[in-house]
Every structure is written in C-alpha cells, then in structure tokens.
Structure 1
C-alpha cells in the first residue's frame, strides 16, 4: 500500500487501495427499518406534545438544562417561532461599549449585547467601541433599503419569454395592488426583469417597515406569483416562487453593489495618539495590513473585503432575535483604511445587506427583547438605527482586529482569554 499523504487524508482512495468495495456496499445499503426515535408528528407547542417529546428525551440528557423553570413558564412566547419545541439553549451574552454613533437614525452612546461562545470576541469589540467613542464617535449613513424575492419562469423559447415579459411590464400596478393586499407594513417598490435564454427572473423589491421582512416579502410575492400563473397569456412550462436571484442567506456579488435589507456605510478618523493608546500600533502599519489583506482577499476570490463582519453580526443577531442565517449575506461588504491628511487613520465600512428588524420575528422573545431594550432599539421606528449601530459595531471590530495583528497581539489575546 502506498504511503499516505500526511497533509491530506483521502478516505475514498484509502478504501479503494484496501479493496473495501464490499464494505462500502454494506455501509451504504438503505436501512428501511422503522426508527425508534420518532417523537410527535404534530409540530405545535402544546403541553401534551411537550410531555411526549420529553418522555423520549429524558433518558438522553438532563431535562432541566433545556427546559428550565423560566423557559417552562415562558413557553407560550415561543409558539410562533419554533416547531417541535423542547426548550431553550443558553448562549453567553457579553456587553461591548459604549459605542458612540453619529448617524442619520442612530445618535447616541450604545451598550451592545453580543451572544457568542467565542472567547476574546466581546473583548475585541469592546476595545474597538471605546476607541471610536474616544474619537468622538463614528459617522453612519443608511443609504438604501429593500428586500427581494425573485420568481423564475421557464418557457419553450426566447420568443415566448419575450412575449411574457411584454405582458409582465403592463401589469406592474396590478402587482403592487395584489402585494399590498397581503401586508399592512410592506410595500412593493420596484420590479426588475432579467432574461436568460428562455428563462425569465422577476426581481420584486419591497420596503418592509421595521420588520426584517423576509416572511412578509415571501407571502406578498407568492400572491403575485399565483396571479401571474392564473392570468398570463403565455403559460410557462414550469415556474418557481424563487429562482435564487435574490441572494437570500448567501454571499453574492449582485447585492455587494445593490442592497438586500439595509445598506449602511460608516466612517471614523483616528489620531496617531488614539491608535497608539488603544491599539498599540500606527496608522501606517494598519494601512499596510489593509493593502496586503485586500490583495489576499482578491486572490482567494472573496466577495467584498473585510476582516470579520460575521463575528459582530452573528453575535448581535443571536442576542437581538434576528435571523442568524442572514449572516451569510450580511457579512458581505468593504472595509477601507487610509492615512488621512493629518497623518491619522481614516477607516470606513460599507455593508449592503444588513438584515435586521426591531419588530416581528424573534425580536419579541423574552431574552432577545431584553437585549434590544439595552440598546434602546426595540419596537416601531427603530430598525434603521439598529442597522447603523450594526455597521459601526463592525467598524469597531475591524479596527480592533487589524490593530491586534499589527501589534502582534492577536494570538496572545486568544491564548490569554481562551486558555
């Protein structure tokens, strides 16, 4: 048998070399026996269903770790946010700040709750927040809003696709009325057409008020979609409610220069003295780091250039009842660091896909509402401010992690706090 590659273990090659085809056949053979792990067919949160689920699970784990007295008392609050409920998971929550934001909508000092199991993360954002606040705060500007859903239609030919589009563009007012009938908060603001051969993709863009709005947009678009299928003079051969052009929960190049959710840019000017005091490095070294990592990002094929937006957004989203899966798209964006005319550092971030809400979804759950209350950003009229805070939080994290790399403290901080 050839010597194994010590850098990479290729399991299929090993099996082939060992002539284990009969073993593979046994491993992959379908097992059609009835599972003993079925719980309840009903997904709903009722006393009976909860008892039946735990009658099976109690032999596996300590029930009180998931269904503690507080969770049991508040269980009805979760009924619209979860199926097959068995309890809650406790994620440690830390606080970073004060974070001073001078934005169009967020104009205050904020204490930011962050839920994470990653040591050194909250400490890093706390340091970046204090640096920004010491500089007088970061400027933040909400640039655009919009949530999309993109139905796809397949036709026999390009001719039929063209005829379909000609009819579609004559129906915009009707589509807006239909969409509006499904929601009191959402508003269909734009419809774009994309033709790819005999496929047609319709991009429906909505404003969703203070809700993150993905369910709202799906319901409204589905109403229009059903109207199209029942009314179109050119019937598609097949069609789907979403053709994957929306970029929903995945990084994509289109929304890097467009918007999905809320697009925010933020900036701060930092003096040499502040950088030395808080980050123990220099503006020149931080700019050099930015130049090198921009090239590295391009070589890796990354969409956008940033150090770790995902850390801030995941921790903020989990703490504040947002859809954590949206970090997949929200963490796309651009960080830039330059020497300003006074020899200090200019740093900016632009995030085009901040998907946050301050009503609906998980924002009303007990712990998540408490975190939004700490920010002072729960309820109507607060979602734009939350987006600006999220962007400045990302800026704080970029400054802190770049400073740590430049000062040679990155590994040391993790060793100290996560040992």
Structure 2
C-alpha cells in the first residue's frame, strides 16, 4: 500500500504560448517507483488522461506491475465476460470450466457461450496435447560452404555440452533437441525446449544465449557474423512450418454432436455446416491462408489478455485446422488442431491481480496446470468454430451483430 503522502495529484495545465512550449523531458529510467510515475505525469500534463489511467485502485496496486512494464503511467481496463460452462474431457483438463474472455468486440462472448453450451450438451469435447516445444534459432553466416559444413560437423558433437550450459540458466527448462538447417553458407541451429508450466519465451532466450556464447567462443570456424535468433523460430509470426510441428503446445479437440442438438442450439443442419466447411477451405486456399479456421484469433486474443498471456503470440497461435465431417454416429463430427498454443500458468503476466483472478476462475493458476489450460483453450476455439459456422449457415451472423452491437 502507498501512504497518503505519495498520493498522486492531477497535473494542472498552465496557459502557455505554444511557441515557447518545451519538449517533453521524460525520466530516463524505466523503473516503476511512485516518484518516477509522478514525474512522467508532470511532463504529460493531461489530468483527464491521468485520472483514467492512474485511478485510485491502480495507484494502490501499481508495484505489482514492476516486473512487467517499463515507463509505467497506469493501467487500461477491458471488460471481461464469461462463456460456458464448457465440458472438457482432456488428458489434463477434466470437467466443466467457466471461460473468461477480455474483449471490446460485441457478440464475441455470446458466440463462445453458445458454442460452449452446445459442447456441454453433447457430452463434452475430447482434447489431447500432442506435443510441446518452444524454439529459438540462432543463425551463423560463413565465408563458404566448406566452412559451414565444418561448423555443422563440430556443433553436432556438442549437444550434451550445449544442453548442460543451457539448462544451467533455468530450474524448469529442458533442451529437447537441436536441429540443424543449412541454406548455402548460412547455418541455423533450432534449439527446442520443454518449458513446463511457463510459456517460456524469456526462459528459452536466456538459455539459448548461454549456448550461443559457447559456440561463438569455441567454434573451430569463426562465423562472418551470427545472431541469437535468425527468424526460423516463427516467434510471433504465422508460419507454415509450425502447422506440422509445434511452437508452444500442439493440441487437438473433437466433438460428436447429434443432429437434434445442431438444430436446437445452432438452428441449422450438420449437412449445411459440412458444406460451409468445404467452401471455406477452398476460400482459404485461394487466399493463401496458412491452415484453415474461422476465427481462432478471437478466442485466443480475448483469452490471452484475460489470463495474462503474451497477446502478440496470437499471430502464430491463430494458425490451425478446423474440420467438419459426418459423424459415424450420425450428426456432426467437428475437430480443431492448434499447433502453436503459447500459454503458461506461472510467470509473465499470470501473477498480475486481474489476470490471476481469471486463471483462478478456471482453477488453473500456478504450477502443474499449463497443459490443462492449453486443452481448455483448444476446446474454447472449437466452441467458437461451431458457433460462428452455425451462424453463417442459419443466416444469423449479421443479425446477431446488429442486435448485440446495439
């Protein structure tokens, strides 16, 4: 708590001649202290913005953000809604879950709520974590192919030593393998880590740096130049490689839905949804889309923001495959596969007050829950696919947005 002596007073704007106005002189330090926050607002001199961004609650709790932000001036509040409950039958997540979603897009939470109720009514989604791994990919440029080949021969003999060096930097990360990619006189080393319950991107960066430094200091062939990451990791970018492999957690979910429930909840038929899926797949191919899905990004962005994940990872997490087909039991079989779910239940933004509260609503905060969180998120994406495709097939998509966007 902050005592009254450190309370922030709204800044006053003096009437000044703009020709004489001085440029902003913000504090050089990005640290979060009451003194530095006050100095920043003295420079900004916009009391209405200060009142909105640095309200009383934010002022009282702002030190909880000191490990997550630089040059802090306040917080932005987003509305959070809940969808569900959704029944998940996973390897790690089992039972009914309430899904917190932070968004400003009207109709989004209602859509996921409808899909979640449909999944629960049909007995729940079967979900499975297929693979895990977070990558960092140093790149090395040599003068010629012969030097590159010699480097590869040497580095392939260093796996155990590089593993030891990398794992000394973390209590939780484990280096699973190092793959080598050669492109002319360029060599890429693909370090793939298991990161337990952390999303793990900072962990992987620090661990790879230790191995990278060893390679640079000990390689029998000196690279012309080298970089810690040479863009082969796919970090925060949609990429076709990850569609067949993994970055984060690769998860698949499936549901078999009787025809009567399709009619009751979505007001359409399984035949219409299958036909829509075929046409949408063709449209995605014509558009050059990586994977085929209706709107994974909506669930991912709202879920990541609510639960303290790295929202920029939606760029890669939103690729994947949605498929509709006739169920062997009659009705609809729907499935989703997401190869790049980047979530954690420890570290990062998961410790912040609102984000921890959302993870607590799920019952998935803290160690031991990251795989379950990924399974719940995959099931949520499945719910969204069912709902939005049902809306298109029933002709309700525009009507719902007119109604809910007020």
Same-fold call, TM cutoff 0.5? yes
Q: Tell me what 2:75 maps to.
A: 88
- Cα shift at 1:56: 2.1
* 1:144 and 2:131 are equivalent in the alignment: yes
**Could you tell me which residue of structure 2 aligns to residue 303 of structure 1?**
290
**Residue equivalent to 1:202:** 189
Say if 2:24 and 2:44, in contact at 8 Å, map to a contact too: no
Alpha-carbon separation, structure 1, partners of 2:25 and 2:295: 40
Which position in structure 2 is the counterpart of 1:189? 176
Within-5 A mapping of 1:218-257? 218-257=205-244
In 1, the alpha carbon distance for the partners of 2:376 and 2:148 equals 44
Tell me the distance in 2 between the aligned counterparts of 1:285 and 1:371.
36
Shift of 1:59: 2.4
| Cα displacement string for residues 44-70 of structure 1 (whole angstroms, at most 9, x for unaligned residues) | 001111010111223263322111111
- Distance in 2 separating the partners of 1:304 and 1:61: 45
Q: How does 1:15-34 map to 2 (within 5 A)?
A: none
- Pick the aligned partner of 1:153 from 140, 158, 162: 140
Normalized against structure 1, the TM-score is what?
A: 0.91
* In 1, Cα distance between equivalents of 2:67 and 2:284: 41
CA distance in 1, matches of 2:239, 2:22: 39
Aligned to 1:337: 324
Residue 340 of structure 1: how far off its partner (Å): 1.5
2:103 is the counterpart of 1:116: yes
Per the TM alignment, residue 105 of structure 1 is displaced from its structure 2 partner at its CA by: 0.3
253, 266, 272: which one pairs with 1:285?
A: 272
Q: How many residues are aligned here?
A: 387
SS at 1:74 equivalent? helix
User: Does 2:41 align with 1:54?
Assistant: yes
Task: Report deviation, 1:35.
Answer: 7.5
1:274 aligned partner: 261
Aligned to 1:14: none
Report the Cα distance in structure 1 between the residues aligned to 2:283 and 2:376, rounded to whole angstroms: 28
For residues 363-382 of structure 1, what are the structure 2 equivalents within 5 Å?
363-382=350-369
Contact 1:179–1:224 (Cα < 8 Å) also in 2: yes
8 Å CA contact 1:283–1:343 kept in 2: the answer is no
RMSD: 1.2
What is the alpha-carbon distance in structure 2 between the residues aligned to residue 292 and residue 125 of structure 1?
A: 23
Distance 1:180 1:338 in 2: 45
Structural mapping, 1:170-181, within 5 Å? 170-181=157-168
**Residue 97 (structure 1) aligned to one of 73, 80, 84:** 84
* Partner Cα distance (2:247, 2:159) in 1: 21
Answering whether residue 58 of structure 2 is matched by residue 45 of structure 1, we say no
CA–CA distance in 1 between the matches of 2:178 and 2:321? 27
Q: What is the alpha-carbon distance in structure 2 between the residues aligned to residue 59 and residue 112 of structure 1?
A: 37
- 2:149 corresponds, among 147, 156, 162, to 162
Q: CA deviation at 1:264?
A: 0.3
Contact 1:151 1:241 survives alignment (8 Å):
yes
How many angstroms does 1:94 deviate by?
Answer: 0.2
Contact 1:332/1:352 (8 A) holds in 2: yes
> 1:207-227: per-residue Cα shift (whole Å, max 9, x none)?
011000000000000010011
Determine the C-alpha separation between the residues in 1 that align with 2:49 and 2:96.
41
State the TM-score, normalized to the length of structure 2. Answer: 0.94
Per the alignment, in what secondary structure is the counterpart of residue 281 of structure 1?
coil
Matched residue, 1:25 = none
SS at structure 2 position matched to 1:349: strand
* Contact 1:336/1:347 (<8 A) preserved: yes
Q: How much has 1:36 moved relative to structure 2?
A: 1.2
